[in-house]
């Protein structure tokens, strides 16, 4: 990821529809298991600039792990200091030590995502869980992915196979950002038609306030339904899995 993108993330995470919508979906999935629970030991791998860590802290004690000094510095600007500089596939943590391991839009950055998932399995307690999100569908690949340093986008069956091969049992796996997918797909295909390449900035463009709020609302609706159904398509995938 280009270094300037961390600054953009830090500025956008508390107001941009994609970040806020994803957070509402993540909260909804966590609440399937842990609503009203406190005292969990949580590891947020690839914590980025730390916005989701503040939400995770409602459920317990959170350690943020990231390999980027820039990302960790932005976490400190948020007042978050429980941080570990480490790679995702070699966490340098005790086995069976965390109740919940989160990895939000991290696996697609890694050369060997299976190795990382096996490392999560080692660190996760028996009966504990991992919660991961990833981008979906290769036909949605764009310069946005390249600038963020993505190696791949996923199909649901591909993510399922990787997570189960690491030793976890799937409890919930669904696409999300479903209602907005037609518009996003059109935008990405239009970008390819324009053949815009070699850029250094992502597609995070703040829409007018009203439109931004509409997008947030649509994802809030998804976050309610996703507790009960699995969406058949969407721009991203969320997966909750247990270490038996």
Domains of the chain: 3-243 (3.40.50.150)
| Residue-level pLDDT at 126 | 97
SS3 labels along 230-244: CECCCCEEEEEEEEC
- Cβ atoms of 28 and 49 within 8 Å: the answer is no
- Cβ atoms of 114 and 165 within 8 Å: the answer is yes
| CA dihedral (171, 175, 176, 179) positive or negative | negative
| Residue-level pLDDT at 195 | 60
- Cβ atoms of 74 and 34 within 8 Å: the answer is no
Residues 180-198 have pLDDT tens digits of 999 999 888 776 666 655 5
| Residue-level pLDDT at 203 | 60
Task: Provide the pairing of β-strand 124-135 with 168-176.
Answer: unpaired
Computed on alpha carbons and rounded to an integer, the radius of gyration of the chain in Å comes to: 17
Exposed/middle/buried for 17, CB within 10 Å: 0-12, 13-18, 19+?
Answer: buried
Low-confidence ranges of the chain (pLDDT < 70): 1-3, 191-204
Q: Helices (H) and strands (E) in the chain — how many of each?
A: 9, 7
Residues 200-216 have pLDDT tens digits of 455 667 889 999 999 99
| Residue-level pLDDT at 132 | 98
């Amino acid at each position: 990821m280009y270094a300037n993108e961390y600054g953009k993330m830090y500025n956008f995470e508390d107001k941009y529809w994609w970040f806020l919508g994803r957070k509402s979906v993540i909260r909804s999935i966590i609440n399937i298991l842990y609503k009203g629970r406190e005292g969990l030991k949580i590891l947020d791998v690839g914590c980025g600039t730390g916005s989701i860590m503040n939400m995770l802290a409602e459920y317990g004690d959170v350690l943020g792990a990231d390999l980027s000094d820039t990302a960790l510095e932005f976490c400190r600007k948020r007042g978050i200091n429980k941080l570990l500089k480490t790679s995702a596939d070699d966490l340098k943590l005790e086995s069976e030590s965390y109740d919940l391991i989160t990895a939000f839009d991290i696996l697609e950055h890694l050369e060997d995502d299976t190795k990382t998932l096996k490392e999560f399995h080692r660190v996760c307690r028996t009966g504990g869980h991992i919660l991961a999100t990833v981008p979906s569908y290769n036909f949605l690949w764009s310069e946005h992915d390249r600038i963020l340093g993505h190696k791949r986008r996923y199909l649901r069956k591909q993510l399922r196979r990787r997570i189960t091969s690491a030793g976890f049992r799937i409890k919930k796996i669904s696409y999300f950002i479903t209602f907005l997918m037609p518009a996003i797909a059109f935008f990405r295909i239009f970008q390819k038609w324009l053949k815009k390449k070699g850029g250094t900035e992502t597609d995070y463009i703040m829409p007018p306030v009203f439109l931004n709020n509409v997008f947030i609302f649509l994802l809030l609706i998804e976050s309610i339904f996703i507790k009960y159904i699995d969406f058949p398509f969407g721009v991203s995938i969320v997966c909750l899995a247990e270490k038996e």
